[in-house]
Amino acid sequence: MNIYRRYLAKEVSGAIALVLVAFLALFGFFDMIAEVKNVGSGGYQLHHAIAFVLLRMPGRVYELMPIAVLIGTLYALSTLARHSEITVLRASGLSTGRLLAGLLTVAFGFALVTFFVGEVVAPPSERAAQQMRLQERGKAVKQELRSGLWVKDERRFINVQLVLPDTRLRGIRIYDFDEAFRLRSVTEAAEGAYLPPASWRLTGVVRTVLHGERAEVIKVPDLEWQSALNPDILSVLMVAPERMSLLHLSSYIQHLAENNQKTERYDIALWKKVVYPLAALVMVALALPFGYTHNRVAGVSFKIFSGVMIGVLFYMLNGLFSNLGAINSWSPMLSAVTPSVLFMLAAAAMIWWVERR
């Protein structure tokens, strides 16, 4: 029986890898088309655009893996069924449960890959892509210093101790220089919130103005500050909640809780990070009933099309339940788990129906 497991694993894994590569090539092509419009801005050239697209590929792998598992498994099982290999295995005494167990073993390996990519590879790769693009387009952003983030805005140098995922700034210092690069003033603020289209609301402001040999200290509760600095530039320092690591999500949720702020969106993202890799297991269970039907090539094409539609539906339901959960204050766990549970129930019903035939 180990022979059939190895054969099944080889066929399914090869099909999944092929589908994943095809999807990555397709989405990479679309990303490249979208990125070409930025070529020529500052020092941003075509090779920078290619590097940007390549650096974003780990995030694409994380997003597309469950869909690739579904379509790849559908294709592999449909091919085996068309060649009557599934029939031979069942006639040899292979039960549905054991066949499903073999498929789940393969899917578990892809679930581990998804988890690793989402936790270790995608967040820093996405951040590096955004930072490279902004730097080549003439934006000066540094983040790897102990003193925090440094941004050059015309004749001002801005130091930010902490950039929160909701784009708020903590521990702000603004060094303003004149045309001869002599320091004119230093503005310190406890916190800053972005006010579209091009200003910030600073709170807890202490401004030190230099008048030759004399310094004047001005304290105001809040101040509106005009700056080219905006959330798009700051996005190089953070990843969308769904692409943050579990460690970063946990620490930020704790920070919000300590400050009596809402955490629903990030709680849902945390549970999704836990559940999303396991979607690969759901997808192989959903694909199994299709392997019990005998079809010609046209039937295989229809199954692949069905797999694409099911994958799109799964992706849409994930986003829908996340948004509904945040809006309606649903349980974060239920908001994250419900799409996978619904698809698992559908898979169980389809397997039961196929077994009864």
Q: Report the pLDDT value the prediction gives residue 297, as an integer from 0 to 100.
A: 47
Cα–Cα distance measured from residue 263 to residue 86, given in angstroms and rounded to the nearest whole number: 48
3-class DSSP state for residue 148?
strand
Can you give the pLDDT at residue 150? 79
pLDDT number for residue 41: 72
pLDDT at 357: 67
- Long-range CB contacts (within 8 A, 24+) of 37-42: 38/133, 38/137, 41/137, 41/138, 42/136, 42/137, 42/138
Number of C-beta neighbours around residue 353 at 10 A? 10
The pLDDT, as a whole number, for residue 239 is 60
39 φ, ψ (degrees, to nearest 5): -65, 130
Amino acid 261: pLDDT:
65
pLDDT at position 1: 52
Give the start-to-end residue ranges of the domains of the chain: 2-137+241-356, 155-227
Q: Residue 226 forms beta bridges with which residues?
A: 199
CB atoms within 10 A of CB 346: 15
pLDDT in tens, the chain (357 residues): 577 788 888 999 999 999 999 999 999 999 999 888 878 776 778 888 899 899 999 989 998 999 999 999 988 888 887 777 777 777 777 777 788 888 899 999 999 999 999 889 988 888 788 777 766 665 544 454 566 777 777 778 888 887 776 678 888 999 998 888 888 999 999 999 988 877 899 999 999 998 877 888 888 888 898 887 777 666 545 566 777 778 877 877 876 677 566 778 888 888 888 889 999 999 998 888 876 665 554 466 777 777 778 888 888 888 888 888 878 888 888 888 888 888 889 888 888 887 776
| Three-state SS sequence of 194-231 | EECCCEEEEEEEEEEEEECCEEEEEEEEEEEEECCCCH
* Contact call for residues 11 and 79 (beta carbons, < 8 A): yes
What confidence score (pLDDT) does residue 18 get? 94
| 137 contacts 43 by C-beta, under 8 angstroms | yes
